[in-house]
Amino acid sequence: MMHFARRFLRRPKLSVVVVVYDMGREAPRTLHSLSTAYQRGVSEDDYEVIVVDNGSPIPLGKKTVERFGKSFRYIYIQDASPSPAAAVNVGVKLSRGDYVCIAIDGARILTPGLVGTTLRAFRAYDDPTVVTLGWHLGPEPQQRSVKNGYTREVEDTLLNKIKWPEDGYRLFEIGCLGGSSKYGCFRPISESNTITVNRDAFDLLGGYDTRFDLPGGGLVNLDFFRRACERRGSHLVVFPGEGSFHQLHCGASTNIPSEELDTRFKEWTEQYSGIRSIPWEMPEQHPEYLGVIPLPALPYIVWSANQRLVM
């Protein structure tokens, strides 16, 4: 009994908050990629995963989430906002870790060293902002690839081809950089789907700003990333050998035609300017790099270095 009580009372170092909406196909892969069956060099006591279902018409469900481990919890929000901002804040409020990682898009498969390398970053730095680059599954960004016949069935075939999840680093073989990271790891990025900060920093920043109330949140994740990067005393730490890989689903920005995305982005930047009273700009902090480079990632590292040289 005392052994059980000690385990129950032990706080994890890291809390990962994952927001899902209508992702019955995609979320189980995301959650598996966060489990100790997949993540390397960590135990269930090191971290917890809080899954916040932002009002899905068919709820993902407690059983689906909790089968990935005893450190997984499920929260369903009734009458949810079309923006995920409030869902993020609810997840953080209910979490227990010293550090919080925000995965605002629950349709992204992660690489196997993300959790362990994140914990290493917080041992190496006092107050870091820790991120990975954003990728899309498929040969090109999904706003374009869907026009050329890329479907969920094609995506399933690609994942089967690399025998995922046997070696999660093989995702680099079937993915491409998303728009937020389109110039690679050695030039500025506009956001990340895994932003990790100290809990105190999250609170001081006021969490995710619920005034970003457009469907999908508009620039809410970019806003938080910019504010986290620009706070005084924080180091931006990037993992060039890890990543989050977007699966095809009906998202607010990744799976719509490019011309429609341009219209939406104009609406998002106008809202941003109205809230912040400044125009949207990409943060320009020079990152520090941490982690190992797996063999499948080497071609993109070389490509990123060439992009840096031509600036």
What are the structural domains, with CATH classification, of the chain?
A: 11-309 (3.90.550.10)
Spatial separation of the C-alpha atoms in residues 117 and 41, rounded to whole Å: 9
Q: How far apart are CA 250 and CA 137, in angstroms?
A: 14
Dihedral (C-alpha) 217, 19, 163, 14: value to the nearest 10 degrees?
120
Q: Which two tokens stand for residue 213?
A: 């109330």
3-state secondary structure the chain: CHHHHHHHHCCCCEEEEEEECCCCCCHHHHHHCCCCCCCCCCCCCCEEEEEEECCCCCCCCHHHHHCCCCCEEEEECCCCCCCCHHHHHHHHHHCCCCEEEEECCCCEEECCCHHHHHHHHHHHCCCEEEEEEEEEECCCCHHHHHHHCCCHHHHHHHHHHCCCCCCHHHHHHCEEECHHHCCCCCCCCCCCCCEEEEHHHHHHCCCCCCCCCCHHHCCHHHHHHHHHHHCCCCEEEEEEEEEEEECCCCCCCCCCCHHHHHHHHHHHHHHHHHHHCCCCCCCCCCCEECCCCCHHHHHHHHHHHHHHHCC
Its pTM stands at: 0.93
Task: Please report where in the chains the tokens 């609810």 appear, as a residue.
Answer: 90
Q: Mean pLDDT of successive 10-residue segments in the chain (311 residues)?
A: 51 97 97 98 97 97 97 97 98 98 98 98 96 97 92 97 98 96 94 97 98 97 97 95 94 61 89 97 92 97 90 64
